[in-house]
């Protein structure tokens, strides 16, 4: 264990990390700055005990790096058993401190664990000063109670637990057992072993407890066949031995089917829609050529309807994540039709979902009409290549085509990090490993920290969404690897300024140097509606050279556009010039091009259009 002094230079970065914690999310930067002044940062060695079960709750912790293992004393084995793992940026211990209860579990540090510790005096002061912190804490408590109920069956089951006594079965009415699929099996004093076919909801647990007052429940999983056998044999009067139920294994052994949802998704593909939206109290809608259109013959869906459509296809980890966070991402595929990137969320009307179609066939750079410079940058041995644009601009499709080109032309090792995996690549001349945040790694930054030990030549980072991921991607690019990444920026120049501005002022010179050395190209794109249907990409491309590198290093980003103008022979393209070309060639309408530009007066001038005064 090592206490780390929090320097002023670290405080802003820690504030950024705290904003990712459910407990502190929503607090102002000023409040979080004050909070960091009261924190103690501790780095633990693997196996160090952070707190012991039964200790006084006099502090709580925020996990900044690594993970911690939660262990509790087993009732019969008299030993600590693992019950959970907690990762950044969750908190541990605040509930016990709030309720003034001893530690309910032992917390053991994993490898590279770094925690912020806050004492009880600070916590009480913060409750008086920040009423919103109390509300958030109550919400976190409610979510954790719900999560714990979902882990109701995660207990070791001995063979002796799997004996059903017909007399004990009479403790519950037959109708209740059939409706809730629960089975009283064996009673020892007031301890009742009770079988559940399904992971019970909090409501089922409460109903069962209310029906069995004074009984302490010892839950065990049983399968449907065992439940049916026991129910049919109840009148025989003999004990029955049954097998425990099997829970879905990590990685998704669950069979994922939702026929009515699949029918909607098949229609979506047939109509050439890019996205399907299902929202509570609305008819489903889909996006065709950029426009959201209602599906006229569909029914208005309730929140329960939507969850009933979505839950059967959700992996177990996403069901748990949605229960705790109210949103989750995963991928879903209909064989022979398409793959879909799925986001499930909760809004003021209930459950909602968006399904983005990922074509089953990866389009080549030629089929997408990408210029020769795109193929050329794919041949680079090292450096950072960014593909940018707003949501729905086709970044994933362009990146997939570039990886496909490399797969066919180079003999390299490619590792992708995605959330979730979208296009599935089959190794050809290259070996390709695709990792997904969630099932395969906890975060983009953790995957990037590990990637250098996996002997890659080329690394794809699905989204550079935080400071640490950007920094690690740059370091990877500057240590001899070709790195592809994405950002939600509209132009090449704003991409550079966005990256620099992500970092604290005292780190920006270092990042400018890293970008100047490592950045090789920025491909910024936007999708425009074609005349007659379909969409076409407008591209802005900045290829780095000595002049561009020097401007980045010196912070003269306002001069980058001029450098791009004078360096068109290297493949540079200016977005407004590309949009003007698409209009002049009759591919898109002028109004469509004007709606996609970030500089309307300049594009209007190129098109000979006079803008209204308000524009």
Sign of CA dihedral 43, 47, 48, 53: positive
Encoded tokens for 344: 């499930």
Length of the chain: 615
Beta bridge partners of 62: 91, 116
Question: pLDDT tens for residues 251-266?
Answer: 334 456 788 899 999 9
Start-to-end Cα distance in the chain: 60
Structure-model confidence comparison of residues 580 and 171, the more confident one: 580
The per-residue pLDDT for 248 is: 38
* Band of pLDDT at residue 277, cut at 50, 70 and 90: very high
* Shared domain check, 216 and 72: no
Encoded tokens for 615: 């524009």
Encoded tokens for 429: 């001349």
Residue 139 lies in a domain: yes
Q: Residue 609 sits in which domain range? A: 576-615
* Cβ partners under 8 Å of residue 440, min gap 6: 447
Q: How far is CA 82 from CA 64, 68, 154, 244, 442, in A?
A: 21, 11, 11, 21, 19
* Shared domain check, 542 and 581: no
Find how far residue 413's CA is from the centre of its chain. Answer: 25
* Band of pLDDT at residue 548, cut at 50, 70 and 90: very high
Query: What's the CATH code of the domain at 350?
Result: 3.30.450.90
* Band of pLDDT at residue 158, cut at 50, 70 and 90: low
DSSP conformation class of 279? E
Q: Report, as an integer, the average pLDDT of 340-355.
A: 93
Which is nearest to 464 in space by CA: 489, 440, 442, 482? 489
163: left (phi over 0), alpha (psi -120 to 50) or beta: beta
Residue 12 lies in a domain: yes
What is the percent of the chain where pLDDT is above 90?
45
The answer to whether the beta carbons of residues 193 and 208 sit under 8 Å apart is no
Structure-token match 């960091």, residue found: 36
Residue 513 lies in a domain: yes
Residue 251 lies in a domain: no
Across 92-106, 179-193, 256-270, 362-376, least confident range? 92-106
* Band of pLDDT at residue 143, cut at 50, 70 and 90: low
Q: Which of 358, 384, 405 is the last residue of a domain?
A: 358
Find how far residue 578's CA is from the centre of its chain. Answer: 34
* Shared domain check, 308 and 279: yes
Total domains in the fold of the chain: 5
Query: What's the CATH code of the domain at 178?
Result: 3.30.300.160
DSSP conformation class of 66? S
Q: How far is CA 544 from CA 481, 519, 523, 539, in A?
A: 17, 7, 11, 16
Other CB atoms within 10 Å distance of the CB of residue 391? 7
Residue 569 lies in a domain: yes
The answer to whether the beta carbons of residues 284 and 278 sit under 8 Å apart is yes
The answer to whether the beta carbons of residues 483 and 476 sit under 8 Å apart is yes
* Shared domain check, 451 and 541: yes
* Shared domain check, 174 and 144: no
Structure-token match 């030990």, residue found: 453
Strand residue runs (E) in 488-603 = 519-529, 535-543
Helix H or strand E encompassing 218: strand 216-221
The per-residue pLDDT for 585 is: 95
Beta bridge partners of 461: 417, 485
* Band of pLDDT at residue 233, cut at 50, 70 and 90: low
Q: Report, as an integer, the average pLDDT of 175-184.
A: 80
* Shared domain check, 146 and 224: no
* Shared domain check, 399 and 281: no
The answer to whether the beta carbons of residues 88 and 31 sit under 8 Å apart is no
What is the percent of the chain where pLDDT is above 70?
86
Q: How far is CA 207 from CA 177, 200, 210, 212, 528, in A?
A: 11, 10, 5, 9, 55
Residue 252 lies in a domain: no
Residue 205 lies in a domain: yes
* Shared domain check, 233 and 113: no
Which is nearest to 286 in space by CA: 297, 140, 604, 493? 297
Q: Is the peptide bond before 89 cis (omega within 30 degrees of 0)?
A: yes
Across 288-292, 498-502, 552-556, 576-580, least confident range? 288-292
Q: Which of 326, 358, 390 is the last residue of a domain?
A: 358
Kind of pairing between the strands at 106-109 and 68-73: antiparallel
pTM of the model: 0.57
State which of 31-35, 128-132, 378-382 shows the largest mean pLDDT. 378-382
Residue 109 lies in a domain: yes
* Cβ partners under 8 Å of residue 591, min gap 6: none
Q: Which of 315, 334, 358 is the last residue of a domain?
A: 358
Find how far residue 446's CA is from the centre of its chain. Answer: 13
Other CB atoms within 10 Å distance of the CB of residue 362? 18
DSSP conformation class of 429? S
* Shared domain check, 133 and 211: no
Question: pLDDT tens for residues 400-450?
Answer: 999 999 999 999 999 999 988 888 899 999 999 999 888 888 889 999 999
Res 66 pLDDT > 80: yes
The per-residue pLDDT for 247 is: 42
* Shared domain check, 194 and 100: no
DSSP conformation class of 426? P
The answer to whether the beta carbons of residues 453 and 447 sit under 8 Å apart is no
Question: pLDDT tens for residues 356-411?
Answer: 998 767 899 999 999 999 999 999 999 999 999 998 899 999 999 999 999 999 99
235: burial class by Cβ within 10 Å (0-12, 13-18, 19+)?
A: exposed
* Shared domain check, 54 and 11: yes
Order across the sheet with 519-529: list the strands. 431-436, 413-418, 458-461, 482-487, 383-388, 519-529, 535-543
Q: Report, as an integer, the average pLDDT of 307-314.
A: 92
Encoded tokens for 369: 């009409």
Which is nearest to 310 in space by CA: 319, 298, 299? 319
The per-residue pLDDT for 148 is: 46
The per-residue pLDDT for 74 is: 59
* Shared domain check, 51 and 139: yes
Mean pLDDT of the chain: 84
The per-residue pLDDT for 203 is: 61
What is the C-alpha R_g of the chain? 28
């Amino acid at each position: 264990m090592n206490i780390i002094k929090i320097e002023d230079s670290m405080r802003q970065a820690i504030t950024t990390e705290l904003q990712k914690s459910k407990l502190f999310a929503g607090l102002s930067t000023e409040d979080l700055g004050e909070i960091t002044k009261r924190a103690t940062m501790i780095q633990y060695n693997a196996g160090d005990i952070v707190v012991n079960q039964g200790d006084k709750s006099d502090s709580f912790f925020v996990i900044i790096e690594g993970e911690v293992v939660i262990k509790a004393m087993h009732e019969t084995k008299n030993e600590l058993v693992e019950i959970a793992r907690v990762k950044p940026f969750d908190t541990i211990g605040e509930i016990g401190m709030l309720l003034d209860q001893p530690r309910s579990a032992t917390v053991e540090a994993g490898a590279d664990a770094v925690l912020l510790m806050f004492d009880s005096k600070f916590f009480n002061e913060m409750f008086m000063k920040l009423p919103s912190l109390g509300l958030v804490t109550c919400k976190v408590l409610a979510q954790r109670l719900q999560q714990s109920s979902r882990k109701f069956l995660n207990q070791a089951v001995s063979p002796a637990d799997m004996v059903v006594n017909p007399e004990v079965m009479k403790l519950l009415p037959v109708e209740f057992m059939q409706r809730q699929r629960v089975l009283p099996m064996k009673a020892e004093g007031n301890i009742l072993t009770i079988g559940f076919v399904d992971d019970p909801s909090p409501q089922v647990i409460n109903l069962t407890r209310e029906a069995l007052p004074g009984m302490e429940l010892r839950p065990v999983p049983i399968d449907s066949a065992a439940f049916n056998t026991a129910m049919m044999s109840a009148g025989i009067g003999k004990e029955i031995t049954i097998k425990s139920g099997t829970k879905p294994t990590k990685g998704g052994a669950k069979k994922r089917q939702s026929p009515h949802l699949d029918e909607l998704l098949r229609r979506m593909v047939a109509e050439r829609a890019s996205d399907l939206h299902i929202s509570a109290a609305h008819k489903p809608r889909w996006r065709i050529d950029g426009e959201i259109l209602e599906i006229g013959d569909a029914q208005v869906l309730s929140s329960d309807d939507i969850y009933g459509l979505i839950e059967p296809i959700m992996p177990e980890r996403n069901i748990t994540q949605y229960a705790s966070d109210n949103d989750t991402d995963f991928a879903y595929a209909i064989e022979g039709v398409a793959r879909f990137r799925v986001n499930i969320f909760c809004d003021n009307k209930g459950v909602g979902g968006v399904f983005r179609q990922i074509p089953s066939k990866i389009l080549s750079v030629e089929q997408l009409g990408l210029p020769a410079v795109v193929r050329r940058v794919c041949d680079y041995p090292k450096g950072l290549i960014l593909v940018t644009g707003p949501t729905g601009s086709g970044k994933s499709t362009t990146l997939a085509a570039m990886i496909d080109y490399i797969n066919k032309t180079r003999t390299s090792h490619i590792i992708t990090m995605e959330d979730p995996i979208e296009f599935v690549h089959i190794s050809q001349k290259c070996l390709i490993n695709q990792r997904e945040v969630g099932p395969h790694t906890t975060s983009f930054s953790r995957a990037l920290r590990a990637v250098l030990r996996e002997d890659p030549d080329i690394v794809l980072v699905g989204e550079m969404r935080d400071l640490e991921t950007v920094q690690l991607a740059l370091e990877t690019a500057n240590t001899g690897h070709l790195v592809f990444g994405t950002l939600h920026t509209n132009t090449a120049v704003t991409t550079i300024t966005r990256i620099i501005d992500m970092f604290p002022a005292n780190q920006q010179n270092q990042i400018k140097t890293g970008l100047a050395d490592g950045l090789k190209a920025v491909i910024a794109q936007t999708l425009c509606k074609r005349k007659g249907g379909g969409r076409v990409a407008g591209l802005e491309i900045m290829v780095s050279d000595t002049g561009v590198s020097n401007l980045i290093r010196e912070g003269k980003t306002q001069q980058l556009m001029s450098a791009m103008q004078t360096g068109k022979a290297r493949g540079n393209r200016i977005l407004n010039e590309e949009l003007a070309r698409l209009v002049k060639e009759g591919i898109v309408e002028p109004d469509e091009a004007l709606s996609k530009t970030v500089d309307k007066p300049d594009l209007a001038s190129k098109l000979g259009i006079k803008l209204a005064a308000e524009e």
